């Protein structure tokens, strides 16, 4: 269960970046944790039954999710080739919250993980769902607020270049794997 939650994806990469930047961390963590809780609950409530009736949904979600991850990966690659030191201050802007919402609710990879995979494992098992939500909240809090411990390292543009390069490689690899697998 924890491997689905901790899997590096666009949402987790964004929470890490926001934690490093110390920008709207609490709001971003709350958006991601609450959204995951809702998605896990829908999955446990029986979303798998819908998929059994329309199995093409998995193929559509995989291809769209793959394209989404490719796009996010190419944005990270672009940042890697244009490195700069990130600002470490909370600007009070709503943009990080809106980005977190988009990376959660417009990201088909999130639906694959929470609704399809986790939902099919946990269908009707609410205690399992509570454990998944607890793991999700714990992960987002640790990732978002723990990232500040790495801030001294990320005062250097080269560190951001490496991070964005790794994020790009993982996102592009996952995107290609999703598309090629279907």
Query: Which is higher by pLDDT, 1 or 121?
Result: 121
On whether the CB atoms of residues 5 and 136 are closer than 8 A, the answer is: yes
Query: Which is higher by pLDDT, 4 or 95?
Result: 95
Among 35, 61, 54, 47, smallest CA distance to 123 is for 47
Q: What secondary structure letter does DSSP report for 47?
A: I
Q: How confident is the model at residue 84 (pLDDT cuts 50, 70, 90)?
A: low
Structure tokens at 154: 């990320």
Among 15, 10, 41, smallest CA distance to 29 is for 15
Say what the pLDDT of residue 2 is: 57
Among 145, 144, 121, 143, smallest CA distance to 132 is for 121
d(CA 160, CA 15): 15
Q: How many CB atoms lie within 10 A of CB 156?
A: 12
Say what the pLDDT of residue 139 is: 94
Percent of the chain at pLDDT above 70? 87
Is 168 in a helix, a strand, or coil?
helix
pLDDT one-digit tens code per residue, 91-107: 567 899 999 998 889 88
Q: Which of 15-19, 28-32, 119-123 has the highest mean pLDDT?
A: 28-32
Taking 70 as the threshold, does the pLDDT of residue 172 lie above it? Answer: yes
- Mean pLDDT on 49-63: 76
Q: Which of 6-15, 20-29, 40-49, 75-84 has the highest mean pLDDT?
A: 20-29
Taking 80 as the threshold, does the pLDDT of residue 45 lie above it? Answer: yes
């Amino acid at each position: 269960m924890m491997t689905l939650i901790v899997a590096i994806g666009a949402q987790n990469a964004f929470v890490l970046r926001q934690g490093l930047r110390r920008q709207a961390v609490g709001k971003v963590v709350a958006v991601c944790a609450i959204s995951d809780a809702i998605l896990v609950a829908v999955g446990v409530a029986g979303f798998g039954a819908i998929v059994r009736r329309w199995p093409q949904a998995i193929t559509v979600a995989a291809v769209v999710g793959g394209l989404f991850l490719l796009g996010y990966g190419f944005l990270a690659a672009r940042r890697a080739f244009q490195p700069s030191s990130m600002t470490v201050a909370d600007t009070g802007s709503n943009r990080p919250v809106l980005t977190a919402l988009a990376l959660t609710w417009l990201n088909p990879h999130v639906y694959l993980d929470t609704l399809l995979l986790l939902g099919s494992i946990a269908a009707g098992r609410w205690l399992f769902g509570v454990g998944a939500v607890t793991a999700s909240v714990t992960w987002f809090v640790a990732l978002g607020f723990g990232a500040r411990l790495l801030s001294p390292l990320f005062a250097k543009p080269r560190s951001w270049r490496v991070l964005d390069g790794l994020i790009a490689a993982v996102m592009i690899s996952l995107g290609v794997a999703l598309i090629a697998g279907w």
